[in-house]
């Protein structure tokens, strides 16, 4: 997939992303009765497109029963979470198609409760980022930080977008010292929260940072993969970012949401740079979450599917069966 603009975060820049579409159904059968999923590699866990394809080839001959999803997923060999998510999504799509119902209805969720999504602005010169945020016309802006000009960036974006809700994401780039110095300055511009300020795994650092009461809630993203990672963050962060590619699919994302709720944490449903397949899947469970960062299709220039729609920032869940996606 080609991106509309170069997407730069604290660790690098990209113009293209290479995800893998997963199809489950009878070869040559009715496409309306086959399930589609999307596998996006979680690069900071070393997942690549080649590794995902290699994994999927090892399970390609399996028989799949969409009415026994838990068993099907439990029987998968260990492997890239992104690849397993692709299988999980395709099975949920197939389940919905066989039942003739959209996934949100099967899960008992109200599509009217889907949150608004943020629009992500990748790292660039402050004036460029401010203009990109303004041109998006979106009321919630997520700002990638972790470069040279973090305070100037937030100041410029705030000045150009006085009414918008602002979130920032350092993608693990700051040291404890940088974070404790910087966050209070950034918070003066009005932040909903700060995502993953510190290195992966520095839970003690997050707990310490939160105790400093720096004026903005702290969310963990890269630190959290599956539901089993969440309990260790109780009290250390205000919220967690759950993504289907990290959790290995819808099933485990739902478990993560319930664990986070039990520990009194807020939840954002986020995404990798993904097409309408994976983003629509995430949108179906978004009514369970406080915040959404599901702007993948807005960043991609050649989305192979259509599904979730955007009314401004509001996610409009598709009503078609399953994930509700169709090839463009």
Binding residues for Mg ion, rule: CB under 5 A, are 169, 195, 221
Q: Judged by CB, which is closer to Mg ion: 42, or 130?
A: 42
Residues 6 or more apart whose CB falls under 8 angstroms from that of 266 comprise: 193, 217, 219, 238, 239, 240, 260, 290, 291
Q: Which residues pair with 327 in a beta bridge?
A: 305
Q: Judged by CB, which is closer to Mg ion: 1, or 145?
A: 145
Beta carbon of residue 173, minimum distance to Mg ion (angstroms, whole number): 11
Q: Judged by CB, which is closer to Mg ion: 195, or 295?
A: 195
Q: Which residues pair with 143 in a beta bridge?
A: 121, 168
Residue 31 to residue 254: CA distance in whole angstroms: 28
Quickly count: other Cβ atoms within 10 Å of residue 22's Cβ: 25
Beta carbon of residue 319, minimum distance to Mg ion (angstroms, whole number): 30
Q: Judged by CB, which is closer to Mg ion: 221, or 229?
A: 221
In a 3-state reduction of DSSP, which class is residue 150? helix
Q: Which residues pair with 36 in a beta bridge?
A: 23
Q: Judged by CB, which is closer to Mg ion: 161, or 171?
A: 171
Q: Judged by CB, which is closer to Mg ion: 252, or 293?
A: 293
Number of alpha carbons in the 13 Å side-chain half-sphere of residue 162: 1
Beta carbon of residue 99, minimum distance to Mg ion (angstroms, whole number): 34
The owner of tokens 């303004």 is 134
Beta carbon of residue 134, minimum distance to Mg ion (angstroms, whole number): 22
Residue 232 to residue 251: CA distance in whole angstroms: 21
Q: Judged by CB, which is closer to Mg ion: 193, or 305?
A: 193
Beta carbon of residue 241, minimum distance to Mg ion (angstroms, whole number): 6
Q: Which residue is nearest to Mg ion (CB)?
A: 221
Beta carbon of residue 64, minimum distance to Mg ion (angstroms, whole number): 32
* Separation in Å, CA 312 to CA 223, 248, 285: 30, 29, 19
Beta carbon of residue 269, minimum distance to Mg ion (angstroms, whole number): 12
Q: Judged by CB, which is closer to Mg ion: 142, or 284?
A: 142
Q: Which residues pair with 12 in a beta bridge?
A: 9
**Intra-chain end-to-end CA distance of the chain, in Å:** 13
The owner of tokens 């918070």 is 187
Beta carbon of residue 170, minimum distance to Mg ion (angstroms, whole number): 8
Q: Which residues pair with 315 in a beta bridge?
A: 310
Q: Phi-psi region for residue 266, left (φ > 0), alpha (ψ -120 to 50) or beta?
A: beta
């Amino acid at each position: 997939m080609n991106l509309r603009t170069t997407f730069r975060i604290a660790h690098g820049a990209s113009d293209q992303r290479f995800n893998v579409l997963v199809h489950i159904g009878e070869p040559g059968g009715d496409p309306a009765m086959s399930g589609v999923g999307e596998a996006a590699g979680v690069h900071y866990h070393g997942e690549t497109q080649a590794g995902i394809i290699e994994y999927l080839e090892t399970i390609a001959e399996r028989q799949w029963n969409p009415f026994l999803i838990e068993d099907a997923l439990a029987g998968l060999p260990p492997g890239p979470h992104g690849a397993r998510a692709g299988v999980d999504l395709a099975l949920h799509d197939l389940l919905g198609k066989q039942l003739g119902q959209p996934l949100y209805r099967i899960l008992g969720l109200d599509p009217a409760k889907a949150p608004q999504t943020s629009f992500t602005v990748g790292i660039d010169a402050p004036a460029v980022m401010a203009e990109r945020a303004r041109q998006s016309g979106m009321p919630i802006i997520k700002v990638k930080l972790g470069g040279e000009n973090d305070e100037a960036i937030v100041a410029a974006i705030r000045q150009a977008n006085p009414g918008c809700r602002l979130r920032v994401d350092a993608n693990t780039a700051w040291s404890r010292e940088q974070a404790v110095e910087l966050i209070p300055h950034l918070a003066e511009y009005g932040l909903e929260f700060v995502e993953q300020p510190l290195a992966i795994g520095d839970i003690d650092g997050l707990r310490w940072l939160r105790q400093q009461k720096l004026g903005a809630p702290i969310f963990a993203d890269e630190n959290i993969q599956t539901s089993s990672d969440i309990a260790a963050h109780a009290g250390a962060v205000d919220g967690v970012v759950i993504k289907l590619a990290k959790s290995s699919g819808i099933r485990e994302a739902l478990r993560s949401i319930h664990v986070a709720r039990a520990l009194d944490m807020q939840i954002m449903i986020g995404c990798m740079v993904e097409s309408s397949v994976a983003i629509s899947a995430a949108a179906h469970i978004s009514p369970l979450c406080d915040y959404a960062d599901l702007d993948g299709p807005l960043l991609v220039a050649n989305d192979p599917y259509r599904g979730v729609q955007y009314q401004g920032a509001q996610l409009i869940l598709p009503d078609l069966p399953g994930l509700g996606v169709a090839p463009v």
